[in-house]
Chains A and B, each alone.
Chain A
Amino acid sequence: MDRGTGAQREGDTQGRGGTTDDPRLNQLLIRTADGDEQAFAGVYDALADTVMGLASRVVQDKAQAEEVTQDVMVEVWRTADRFHPMRGAARSWVLTLAHRRAVDRVRSVAAGRARELRAAVREQERSFDTVAEEVEVREEQRVVFRCLAGLSHELRLPLVLAYYEGLTYAEVAEALSTPAGTIKSRMRQGLQRLHDCLEAGS
């Protein structure tokens, strides 16, 4: 996966990604809700590479990832009115939408993939280690990986399997041979720890 060299990723240049409440991007999304196409283009330029990166990681196919990215961006335009700056940053709103779209895509094509789950577990651990070792990552990636690495294995795996592989909690439970209630609890706890680590200023 390339690292996205687009010169126009204005909203994406701060070292901190998901939690930064970027007022400029919020404004662009609010203007988008009023039908401002130029503002929408600004939202696109700020987030297309991140949406595409996430979609590629989840659907594992560049052509499909582009379709997801297109769907997500059109959905952002269509439903921008639902964005409420009080409830989180524009970036987080768009990426939540993108994640749902990407996961729905893999769920719809991957029925009966339970037997692949164990392979997914092994693959995730390997790719996590590989990426974490990469030297040349952007600052915000470094922060994410450092915080992920700071989680115990038990807390990290459910997050990674659900978020990047699109598994449901029941599938994660099956893949890890762990009770479903325990997995739910670890997902909540893992996100909370991740939140604390990321908000700590990284």
Chain B
Amino acid sequence: MNRADDPHLDVGAYVLHALPAGEEAAFENHLASCPPCRLEAERLSRAAAWLAAAETSAPSADLRRRVLDQIATVRQVRSVAFASRRRRRRQRSVKLALAASLTAAVALGGVAWWQHSEADTAREQTAEARAGYREVADLLAAPDATISTEELARGGTGSVVASRARGRAAFIGAGLPPLGDDRAYELWYVEPSGQYRPAGLLSAAGGRQAHILDGRLDGATAVCVTAEPSGGSRRPTTDPLGIIDVPA
């Protein structure tokens, strides 16, 4: 289990900032594609932050004034939360690829392209789902549409198409593992306060699914996916399978 080449092994040293710069960068690369590792890193970071509580020491009284003076002249960074430059590049290329696919989908008559690769499940697609794809294509046509993609903790990927101008967002899942009969995928808007707002259910069948999120995007900063009892929950009852940032 402690094989030297197991990249997960580095998570403790990473959280303690005890990896040399090159290895730290390599591990961050790994984190970008390993949602379970990110969850573990977040969990261990909480523990590490406790170590900071071991001692407190009041800085001199005028440090507060100096800091407050200084920030008045420091410009704040506005960025997509947590997106590294590399990941933004990846998102752009995903966006291009998806946009091309959707253009093709529209050209081919909408649903056809999506089902091309899923011929076996095509018959199971409901009319509702077909309408969903058309709405997604429509949303992607919005001038300010963005696409963000994350790999999900138990396999598959989730993409969120969002348009702040239209106040709408859509979720496209690909390769979602099937859940048991008594479960369903549930989507959530993540509010700036950190609270979750239910945004609809996806079938437990998994695979490829597209869904226009229920309700308005409003100020939501991310879309989250969890597995819930079928019928859905009012609050997430399980750990997120993925959290997909929506650019501001």
> Shortest CB–CB separation between residue A160 and chain B, in angstroms?
8
Chain A residues closer than 8 Å to B74, beta-carbon distance = 74, 77-78
Is there contact, CB below 8 Å, between B49 and A91? Answer: yes
A99 to B194, CA, bound (A): 24
Decide if A185 is an interface residue (CB 8 Å cutoff). yes
Decide if B238 is an interface residue (CB 8 Å cutoff). no
A168 to B2, CA, bound (A): 19
Chain A residues closer than 8 Å to B77, beta-carbon distance = 78-79, 81-82
Is there contact, CB below 8 Å, between B46 and A188? Answer: no
Main secondary structure of the interface of A (DSSP, over half): helix
A39 to B48, CA, bound (A): 25
Is there contact, CB below 8 Å, between B82 and A82? Answer: yes
- With A37-B68, A188-B11, A189-B12 known as contacts, the answer to whether A50 contacts B222 (CB < 8 A) is no
- Give the tally of cross-chain contacts (CB within 8 A): 238
Interface residues of B in 60-91 (CB under 8 A from A): 60, 63-64, 66-68, 70-72, 74-79, 81-82
Decide if B143 is an interface residue (CB 8 Å cutoff). no
Decide if B139 is an interface residue (CB 8 Å cutoff). no
Residue count of chain A within 8 Å CB distance of chain B:
91
Decide if B107 is an interface residue (CB 8 Å cutoff). no
Residue count of chain B within 8 Å CB distance of chain A:
59
Is there contact, CB below 8 Å, between A163 and B16? Answer: yes
A84 to B83, CA, bound (A): 12
Decide if A30 is an interface residue (CB 8 Å cutoff). yes
- With A70-B70, A78-B76, A92-B45 known as contacts, the answer to whether A19 contacts B50 (CB < 8 A) is yes
Is there contact, CB below 8 Å, between B76 and A81? Answer: yes
Chain B residues closer than 8 Å to A50, beta-carbon distance = 52-53, 56
Is there contact, CB below 8 Å, between A73 and B67? Answer: yes
Q: Which of B17-25, B154-162, B209-217 contacts A (4 or more CB under 8 A)?
A: B17-25
Decide if B51 is an interface residue (CB 8 Å cutoff). yes
> Shortest CB–CB separation between residue A77 and chain B, in angstroms?
4
Interface residues of B in 32-57 (CB under 8 A from A): 42-57
> Shortest CB–CB separation between residue B152 and chain A, in angstroms?
15
Please, which residue of chain A has its CB at the minimum distance from the CB of B190?
A86
- With A86-B222, A95-B49, A187-B13 known as contacts, the answer to whether A195 contacts B54 (CB < 8 A) is no
Residues on A facing B (Cβ under 8 Å): 1-6, 12, 17-19, 23, 26-27, 30, 33, 35, 37, 40-41, 44-45, 48-54, 56-57, 65-66, 69-70, 73-74, 77-89, 91-92, 95-96, 98-100, 103, 131, 138, 140-141, 143-145, 147-148, 159, 162-164, 166-170, 172, 181-192, 194-195, 198
